[in-house]
Amino acid sequence: MVFINKFVFISLLTTIGFLYGLLLFLSDYEENKCEMTYMFQYPQFVRISMKIDNQFKKYGLYAYSEGHFTERARNMQFKGIPVLFIPGNAGSYKQVRSLASVALRKALNSRPGFHFDYFTIDYNEEFSGLNGALLHDQVLYAQQSIYRIMELYASTPDKPTSIVLIGHSMGGIIAEGLLSVIPDNSIISLILTLASPHKRPPLFFDSHLYNFYKDIESWDNKMNTTFITVSGGFNDFLVAPHLTSSKHLSVVTTHIPKVWLPMDHLCILWCKQLVLVLNRALFDSVDPLTKQISQDKEFVVAVFKHYLLQNSGIRINLKDHYSFPTPIDDRGDWIERLARQYSVELTEGTRKPQWYMIRKVNQPMHEVLSVMALNLELTNWIFACSAHTIRGQSRVCIDATHLSHMSEIVPSHKFKRRFLNINLHQLNQNFTHVVAKIPATSEPVTLHIDIHSEIDRKLIVDLPVWSLKNKVIIDETPENRLYYEIHFPGLYHVIQSYTLYVQPIQCNTRNHHASASLSVPWSNLDSHAIFSEIQHRPMNLRLHSNKPLN
């Protein structure tokens, strides 16, 4: 009887623990802050006939179009860059709408001289993630779809020689599988996958699925195609980020500049912030001479790294020019303050340009400069120069070296934030100042300056293995301190989880806020949080993947 009572007690505790863990798992997600994408005109899907349709009557190939452009699609008149969307497990061919519609509007508004033609496959919403036997049929149909799409451009001047593949979930695995059945892989210039489990599926349901993945592993060394993979982070309960890594570039949506949001498995297809970034990257990957995706794979990867990893706001094709000195327009007020920390708030803008001069001083407390500009729409905003030219009562610079391309756009609650953190002692000795420019504007602009030593702002924190007590890292930050770097050497495994609290003590306005970024040095899996008087939610410190052994 005693044994039975113990068994019942242990079983009850185990059940309670399981239910509590399940509740935590199902509630462990952030609020969906994605904006919805909308079509300006009613979306149309034009069926494209193929010879293989008789063999696969449940499948179909469609071209996406809107409004009066649909007539061209119905007449099979295509003159753009072909893109094929491949849906995933139980996915619809209509899920291409957001990516395709935004690409169409961008081509119409920006007038770059080229556009993208989006095609999409209807797999009858098959459960390819649960039945591996379906994958081989889907790969075969996608292969014939590519051949059929390329045939549509046969009579087009400067016809394309390659196609872009975009796959969602298991559609990304189909795109990868195509590399084994298409003899010339160069026909696939780029594969972009969203929430696709490239390493392995979340669960193996049959031997067909297992063998399909084993075959992919043997093809991996033969790939000549650029691979970009994007995962949704902790909000995706179906495909974890560590399953999505690929050969060239893998990133989680919380890491991507101007996105900074986790996404669930379906939201990643229509989230406006992400769709805009991906379209900008695709458009900038086009060679202006050939009007096709560049054949320079290093350039294409560099473009996607610019948009997905660290975005300074400067177009990637202009970055090479930033290594050369440039003349500057020195009109305006040149202002130099001796304080190491201060803020400039122009609530009503400024009628003429203002140049804020930060002097280089060869002292330990003047080692590092942290600058943040709020609501500054100027791309070229910060420079290093030698102020040897006298104008009136002040010294000015007449030429300078760009530092803007070394800055980055960082998370913000309201206004765009541009941030630069640079070691002043490592700059050219001939430079006397770093200068930040605020152009004439009627909009409010804020500039924060923080000069400090590196060791003064770098903290190393030992994390407890298990603790219910709070540990204070910084009791209170002095006024106008802009930047701190906190290292957690003990945070290295996915099972670890800590909570970071940042409590505002006194803010001048409700818009004032602080941001924290968890930077993961071994992968592109950063996450961010914003703290203000109206936003108190703590930040979870946890990893998407373990620290590599080497």
Q: What is the residue-wise DSSP string for 41-104? A: S-EEEEEE--GGGGT-TT-EEEEEEEGGGHHHHHTT---SEEEEEE--TT--GGGGHHHHHHHH
Asked if residue 444 lies in contact with residue 346, where contact means CB atoms within 8 angstroms, the answer is: yes
Same domain, 408 and 338: yes
Does residue 24 sit within a domain?
A: no
pTM: 0.90
**What pLDDT is attached to residue 218?**
67
Does residue 360 sit within a domain?
A: yes
Distance CA(274)–CA(441), nearest Å, equals 29
**99-143: pLDDT as tens digits:** 999 999 999 998 899 999 999 999 999 999 988 889 999 999 999
Question: Residue 17: enclosing H or E segment and its boundaries?
Answer: helix 2-27
The CA-atom distances, in angstroms, between 534 and each of 76, 204, 440 are: 54, 45, 32
Same domain, 424 and 496: no
The SS3 of residue 156 is coil
Q: Which of 399, 419, 453 is the last residue of a domain?
A: 453
Does residue 16 sit within a domain?
A: no
- Chain center to CA of 174: 23
Does residue 418 sit within a domain?
A: yes
Same domain, 302 and 328: no
Distance CA(123)–CA(134), nearest Å, equals 10
Pair type for strands 389-391 and 485-487: unpaired
Distance CA(418)–CA(378), nearest Å, equals 10
Does residue 357 sit within a domain?
A: yes
Same domain, 191 and 229: yes
The SS3 of residue 128 is coil
Across residues 528-545, what is the average pLDDT?
86
Q: Which of 453, 480, 508 is the last residue of a domain?
A: 453
Could you confirm whether 110 is annotated as catalytic? Answer: no
Count of C-beta atoms within a 10 Å radius of residue 72: 15
Same domain, 134 and 176: yes
Comparing C-alpha atoms, which of 62, 73, 76, 65 is closest to residue 101?
Answer: 65
User: How many structural domains is the chain composed of?
Assistant: 3
Same domain, 234 and 379: no
Does residue 537 sit within a domain?
A: yes
Same domain, 497 and 362: no
Does residue 13 sit within a domain?
A: no
**What pLDDT is attached to residue 511?**
62
- Chain center to CA of 476: 32
The CA-atom distances, in angstroms, between 262 and each of 234, 243, 289, 331, 449 are: 7, 16, 37, 44, 31
Same domain, 481 and 515: yes
- Catalytic pick among 98, 162, 169, 246: 169
Q: Which of 287, 311, 335 is the last residue of a domain?
A: 311
**3-54: pLDDT as tens digits:** 567 777 788 888 887 777 667 666 666 788 899 998 888 999 999 999 999 9
Does residue 168 sit within a domain?
A: yes
Comparing C-alpha atoms, which of 138, 141, 186, 140 is closest to residue 164?
Answer: 186
Report whether pLDDT(97) > 80: yes
**140-199: pLDDT as tens digits:** 999 999 999 999 999 888 889 999 999 999 999 999 999 888 888 789 999 999 999 999
Domain that holds residue 175: 43-311
